[in-house]
Amino acid sequence: MESDYTYTEAELIQGLKARNQRIFNYLYDHYSPALYGVALKILNNENAAGDTLQEVFLKIWRNIDNYNQGKGRLFTWMLNITRNTAIDMLRSKSHKFDQKIQNVGDDVHLYTGHLTVYQSTDHLGLSKVLEKLNTEQRIIIDLAYYKGCTQDEIASILKIPLGTVKTRMRLAMIRLRNLLKTL
Amino acid sequence: MSVERFISSGIIELYVTGMASAEEAKELEAAMADYPELKKEVESCRRDMEQYVRLQAIAPPPAIKEHLLRMVADETSKCEKE
């Protein structure tokens, strides 16, 4: 019974505001893998990521009236909800900065080992990008975007001067963006 | 700060990845309101970041969807009764 019909973003927003469950179903099918990937990356734990995903979609369903189209696209809004929810969960669990470093340490270990523990839905595209982005660049982007670290925290985790963080981040993003263009 | 200076300062990348300080974010947002080309630059960087995010998409366990749809349906029927 799956239909191939693609809803526009405006239709999705309108449908959600009208509390249309069919639209919610569609939204889940189309966006849950991306959002689950984010939660999993932040939390490194399938159960916690699953709980987060559920909470995120309930927030989307309940708070769609707070979404302001003038401030950004729907996907950006949903991503921000996901990052905030997952980071909150991460911090509430760890409480301490130490724990966060520990988590990051685990990540660094992940980076040096297998490409990724979980199979992404676009494994080929991802490998292509990750192959050419060096570990240091991946880590700095991930610490900022996924782990929500501040510049100070990144400087302390990577043991680099604060002034270097900005430059490195910029270079990493330029490299990432150029790589994405080759896909 | 001119648009060019904003672009070369790297602040856009910091902003999009959530690493800009509150002060930097405020400054950039104010400038974005004045300069549409700067807003376009930020949006383009954000779209690239989101493409990177999509590359890392992973299918969640199917049980989550069932549970979620049930919760939403319950909530909706409750609202209708009220």
Chain A nearest C-alpha distance from B35 (Å): 15
Q: Which of B17, B48, B71 to mutate to test the interface with A (most CBs of A within 10 A)?
A: B17
A36 and B72 in contact by Cβ < 8 A? no
Indicate the number of domains in chain B: 1
pLDDT level of residue B1 (50, 70, 90 thresholds): low
A166 and B14 in contact by Cβ < 8 A? yes
A32 and B53 in contact by Cβ < 8 A? no
Dump pLDDT digits (tens) for A39-82.
999 998 899 999 999 999 999 999 999 999 888 899 999 999 99
A126 and B53 in contact by Cβ < 8 A? no
pLDDT level of residue A130 (50, 70, 90 thresholds): confident
Q: Which of A130, A145, A156 to mutate to test the interface with B (most CBs of B within 10 A)?
A: A145
Contacts (Cβ under 8 Å, ≥6 apart) of A32:
A53, A57, B59, B60, B64, B65
| pTM of the model as a whole | 0.86
Return the H-helix or E-strand segment holding A176.
Answer: helix A162-181
The beta strands (E) that lie in chain A are given as none
Q: Is B51 on the interface with A (CB under 8 A)?
A: yes
Dump pLDDT digits (tens) for A38-49.
999 999 889 999
What is d(CA A7, CA A9) in angstroms, rounded to the nearest whole number? 6
Query: The complex's ipTM?
Result: 0.89
Q: Is B22 on the interface with A (CB under 8 A)?
A: no
A36 and B59 in contact by Cβ < 8 A? yes
- Decide: A115 and A127 in contact? Cβ < 8 Å: yes
Taking CB atoms and an 8 Å cutoff, what residues of chain A touch B57?
Answer: 33-34, 36-37, 120-122
B58 and A33 in contact by Cβ < 8 A? yes
Q: Could you tell me the two tokens for A72?
A: 């950004």
Q: Among B10, B48, B65, whose Cβ lies nearest the Cβ of A180?
A: B48
Residue A117 pLDDT = 52
Residue A169 exposure: Cα atoms within 13 Å on the Cβ side = 34
pLDDT level of residue A108 (50, 70, 90 thresholds): very low
Contacts (Cβ under 8 Å, ≥6 apart) of A121:
A33, B57, B58, B59
Q: Domain range spanning residue B67?
A: 3-81
A115 has pLDDT over 80: no
What is d(CA B18, CA B25) in angstroms, rounded to the nearest whole number? 9
pLDDT level of residue A103 (50, 70, 90 thresholds): low
Dump pLDDT digits (tens) for B25-48.
999 999 999 999 999 999 999 999
Chain A nearest C-alpha distance from B56 (Å): 5
